[in-house]
Amino acid sequence: MRGSAAEQLAQAGLIAFTAGFFVFLMAPILIVVLVSFSSLGYIAFPIPSYTLKWFRRVWEYAPFLNGLWVSIKLAVGSTVLAAMLGVPAALALGRARSGWANVLATFLLAPLSMPMIVLGFALLFYLSALGFGLSFTALLIAHTVIGIPYLLRTVIGVYRSLPPDFEEAAAILGAGRWRTMLYVTLPLIRPGVFAGGLFAFLVSFDNLPISYFFGTPSTSTLPVVMLSYIQDQFDPSIAAVSTVQMLLALVVLLVVDRIYGLRQLGAPS
């Protein structure tokens, strides 16, 4: 009886801790969403009444829409480039056993362990020295650099968990390297590609430190525009555009779940 009561008490405590931690994480997001509907001309909580005028402000303020379009183009483009570079690198390094392979893998994963502001500062000087300057191309290269580690990490993890028997069987049956890659390897590592691409897209879409160094009137992403906006104004339109940004990220997750299924991203199908 004492043991049962202690177990029930421990379970209740764990549930209470989990619920409190969940509220601690979600409360700021919920407050931002509520403030975006505030009728006040400044950010305050609780709000007296509700209105949609700040969402109209987002639509009427051209830099918000331009920054959103640049962020979407940049996130899609950098994710595609990161996949084109990261997936082949992951396949080459996934089963390599030489010391140089580990060194190269560590080098490609280095952006994950570096402060974004340091990486952005270094990329600004390096890409400027190469002649790219402050351009969308330079911004695309920088976001590709931070996107490659996510694809590399997930694809290597999935690829190493697969037995080599499938590829060996395809080779025995007469399939060449490219046919084996297309019809055997890529379908098996698809969960890693989807998961890494999803991480790369969301990190690029929400990135500020890297984008800030390459921002110009024509290449400023939405986070950069939002930072510039709150330097002069602090009205709930920032909460409204943040809500729109969160909704777009949620839509991406729902689309991926509808097309592929988020539960299948954790293990090969």
Predicted local distance difference test score (pLDDT) of residue 19: 87
Residue 85 falls within a domain, yes or no?
A: yes
With a pLDDT cut of 70, the percent of the chain lying above it is 94
Q: Is residue 15 included in any domain, yes or no?
A: no
Question: What is the signed CA dihedral for 40, 45, 48, 54, rounded to 10 degrees?
Answer: 40
pLDDT at position 166, please? 73
CA distance 117 to 208: 9
Distance between CA atoms of residues 15 and 12, nearest Å = 5
Look at residue 24 and tell me if it is in a domain: no
What is the span of the domain harbouring residue 102? 56-266
Q: Which residues of the chain have pLDDT under 70?
A: 1-3, 259-269
pTM attached to this predicted model: 0.79
Q: Is residue 11 part of a domain?
A: no
The pLDDT of residue 213 is: 85
Number of domains present in the structure of the chain:
1
Which pLDDT score, from 0 to 100, does residue 269 have? 44
Residue 118's pLDDT is 87
CATH number of the domain bearing residue 196: 1.10.3720.10
In a domain, 23, yes or no: no
